[in-house]
Structure 1
Amino acid sequence: MYGPGDVRVVDAPEPRIEQPTDAVLRTVVACVCGSDLHPYHSIEPSEAGRSMGHEMIGVVEEIGADVRTVTPGDVVIVPFVFSCGECEFCRAGLQTSCRFAGLSVPTGAGGAQAERRRAPFADGTLYRVDVAEDDERMPGLLTLSDVYGTGWHAAVTGGVAPGKDVVVIGDGAVGLLAVLSARQLGAERIILMGRHEARTDLGRRYGATDVVAARGEEGVAAVRELTGGFGAHVVIDAVGHLPAYEQALGAVRAGGTVTRVGVPQYADAPLQRVQFTGNVTVTGGVAPVRAYIDDLLPGVLDGTVDPGAVFDRELSLGEAADGYRLMDDRAALKVMLRP
C-alpha cells in the first residue's frame, strides 16, 4: 500500500531464514481484513509502500535450526501476531504482549498478502493442522488467524454467559463472528446492530435474535426497548469508530460490560458519567488469537460451526486491489485471496 486507495501487486525479494527460530511459509490462502481498510483511507503516502495483510494459512517450506514443532510440508494457521510462546505473557495466553515479538516489536516478516512469507518465532506462533491444502474447510480455518478469535475474544472479555443479553455493534466479519461466539457461550438474546441485509441475515444464521438498523440515540432507544428499558449486559463494539463506542455506552445496562475489539480510530474516548455512575466495565483489546485456537478449532473441523461463511468473494493475489475496493464499497463482506 503506497497511499490511500493505492494498493499494488509488486515483485518482492524471496523470504529466507534469518534467525534459527524462523520458518519460511508458502501461502495457501490469505485475505483482506476490515482493519486493512483503515490505512486504505488514511495511510501516509510513501515511495517504499507497506507490505499488507496479517491473516493466512500457509505451508512450511523451510525451517531454522532451532525450530522443533513444525516441519516442511506442514499446513499451519498463522495468527496475526507473532509470539515466542515462552515469555510470561505468552504463558498467560496474552501473546499480543509477547516480550520478544507481539504488537510492540518489529519483526520484519512482511505482510500475509504475498506468495511467501518469513515467520519468526515459528514454534511459538505457528499452529499445525492435519489437513490438505485443498481442504474445503480452509475458509473456516483461515478465520482462526484473526476474525473468529477476535469475535471470541469480544464475547469472552465481555463475560457472555447464559441468561445475558448481548448487543453487537457492527455487521462486519468480526461483529458477525462475535454473534456466533456469543451464541456458543450461551447468550439467549443477541441484538445485532447493522444495516446491510445480506450481513444481518448471516448474523441471524449465526444466532442473532434481533437486528437493529438504527444508529445513535435512535439505535440506543431500540436496544433499551428490546431489553425492558435496562440495556444489555454485554455490548460489543466491533467497529472502532467513536460513534460506535458512544453508542455502546448508551446501550449497556448498569453493572454491564462494554468490550471493544474494533481497532480504535480515535486518540481519546470519554468514559462519561454513565460508566462511573452505572458501574460499567470497559474492556476488550487486541485478541490473542493463538490462545483460542485449541478451543475453536474442533468446531471448525467437525463442521458444527461455519465461521468461513463470512468470506463471500474469492480473488487471486494479483487482484488484491480489487478486493480492497470491493470491501471498501461494501460490495463484499470479506475477500479471500489465493496465490
Structure 2
Amino acid sequence: MRAARYHGPGEISIDEVPDPTIESPTDAVVRVTHTAVCGSDLWFYRGESDREEGSRVGHEPMGIVEEVGEEVRHVQPGDRVFAPFSISCGSCEYCRKGLHTSCKNGGFWGSTTDGAQGEQIRVPQANGTLVRVPDRYADDQDVLKSVLPLTDVMCTGHHAAVSAGVEAGSTCAVVGDGAVGLCAVLAARRLGANRIVALGHHEDRLEIAESFGATDTISARGEAAVEELRALTAGGVDHAIECVGMGAAMETAIDIARPGGTVGYVGVPNGVEDGDLVDSLFGKNVTLAGGIAPVRAYVDDLLEDVLQGTLDPSPVFTKTVDLEGVPEGYRAMDEREAIKVFVDLT
C-alpha cells in the first residue's frame, strides 16, 4: 500500500509501506477513503517540532472497515467509519470521564501508531475509537465532507468554545482564522452566542467566519486589534477563544478578556512564554481552561447535527487533492494558499 511519510522539513513523499494487519483482538483494519491535512501538521513540516524521519503522517481518517479482531463488537466489515485524532478504549477511568485523550490504553495517529494519510490503517482499540456513519449517509459525498472535520477541527473548535464558557446570549471573541478558529465560530453560534467577534489576518477567511456566524470581524494585529475589540464590546469579552497556539495569540486572548472572564485555549502551544501570561491572568482573575480536545466526548452530538443539516464545517476545506497530491497539500497550507486540505482517496 501507499502512504504519506515525513523525510525532513518541507519533505513529504508518498511511499510504499507494509499493509496493515490485525495485531490484537481489539484492532480493525480500515480502507481510507478520505482524510485531511491539519494545521498542526505544519509544525513538523516547518521543522518547528521534532519528528522521526520516515514516519507516517496524518491523523484524520475516514473509510470502510475491511477486517476486525475477534473482540471488536461496535463495527463490522463494510461499515463506513471515521476516527478522532486520538485513539481511546472507551472504558478506562479517563474515557468514562470524557477525557479520551488521556486514555490509559490509547495513543495518537502518527506517533503511537501509523499515520492516517494512506490507503489503509490499523485501528487499535477499535471499539472505543471508531465512529460509525449511518448506512443511509455512507455514500453521500457531501455529507461525508461535512463529517470529516469531526475527526479534529470541528470538535477542537467546540472544545475551545465550551472551555471558554460560551452560552446562550453571550458575547465572545475567537482569536485565529485557521480551520479550528473558523470551527470555533460555528461552535459558538451553535451554543447560542449572541455576538461573535472573529479576529484574523486574512480577509477571505474572515468572510467564511461571517458565513459561519461571526457578527463582527477584526483584521488588525497586536494592540490595534485589542483596542478595536474593546471599542466594539465596551471593554472586552467574558469568553475569549484562542485557536492558534502562538504566544502573540494567547496574549491577545488574555488582553481582550474582561476581569473575571475565561480564556478557552486549544491552539497547540508553540512559542508561548509562561511568566507574563500568568501575571496577566492573575491580575484580572481570568480563568484559563482548555487543552487538547477530547474529540470522542463530543463527536456523537456534533455528528447528529451534521446529519440533520444544522451544522456544516465543510467550507474549511478550500483545496482537494488525491493521495499523490498530499505533498502539494502541505505546501499549499504552509504558504497560506489553503485553509485546510481535503484528501480524497476514492
TM-score w.r.t. structure 2 length? 0.94
Q: 2:131 aligns with which of 127, 134, 142?
A: 127
The CA deviation at 1:215 is 1.5
Q: Measure the CA separation in 1 of the matches of 2:149 and 2:126.
A: 19
Q: 2:285 corresponds to which letter in structure 1?
A: N
Give the aligned partner of residue 267 of structure 2: 262
Q: Is the 8 A contact 2:37 2:341 kept in 1?
A: yes
Q: How far did residue 295 of structure 1 move?
A: 1.1
- Tell me, in whole angstroms, the C-alpha distance in 2 between the residues paired with 1:18 and 1:250: 50
Question: Quick check: 2:138–2:144 contact (8 Å CA) kept in 1?
Answer: no
Q: Is the 8 A contact 1:97 1:103 kept in 2?
A: no
Percent identity at matched positions? Answer: 49
In 1, the alpha carbon distance for the partners of 2:109 and 2:210 equals 37
Mind listing any 5+ residue stretches in structure 1 that lack a counterpart?
none
CA distance in 1, matches of 2:56, 2:43: 15
Q: Look up the equivalent residue of 2:121 and give its one-letter code.
A: R
SS in structure 1 of the partner of residue 54 of structure 2:
coil
Partner of 1:75: 80
RMSD over aligned CA atoms reads 1.6
Equivalent residue, structure 2, for 1:232: 237
Match of 1:37 in 2: 42
Residues 106-160 of structure 1, C-alpha deviations (whole Å, 9 max, x = no match): 642x111000000000001101111324532111110111111001101111110
Q: Does 1:162 align with 2:168?
A: yes
- The code of the aligned residue for 2:164 comes to G
What SS is found at the alignment partner of 1:112?
coil
Residue equivalent to 2:193: 187
The structural deviation recorded for 1:57 is 0.9
Output one character per residue of 1:69-111: Cα deviation in whole Å (capped at 9) or x when no partner: 1000001121110001110100111100001114599642x11
Letter of the 2:329 partner, please give it.
G
- Quick one: structure 1 residues 332 and 137, their matched pair in 2 at CA, closer, same or farther if it must change by over 3 Å? same
Alignment partners' CA distance in 2, 1:332 and 1:104: 23
Alignment of 1:152-301 (within 5 A): 152-229=158-235, 231-266=236-271, 268-270=273-275, 271-301=277-307
Q: Secondary structure at the match of 2:177?
A: coil
Matched residue, 2:342: 336
Structure 1 residue runs of 4 or more that deviate by more than 6 Å after TM superposition: none
Q: Secondary structure at the match of 1:336?
A: strand
1:164–1:189 Cα contact (<8 Å) kept? yes
2: CA distance between counterparts of 1:327 and 1:105? 19
Q: TM-score, normalised by structure 1?
A: 0.96
Q: Which structure 2 segments of 5+ residues have no match?
A: 1-5
Instruction: Give how far 1:306 is off.
Output: 1.2
Compute the displacement of 1:216 (Å).
1.1
Q: CA contact under 8 A between 1:6 and 1:40: conserved in structure 2? A: yes
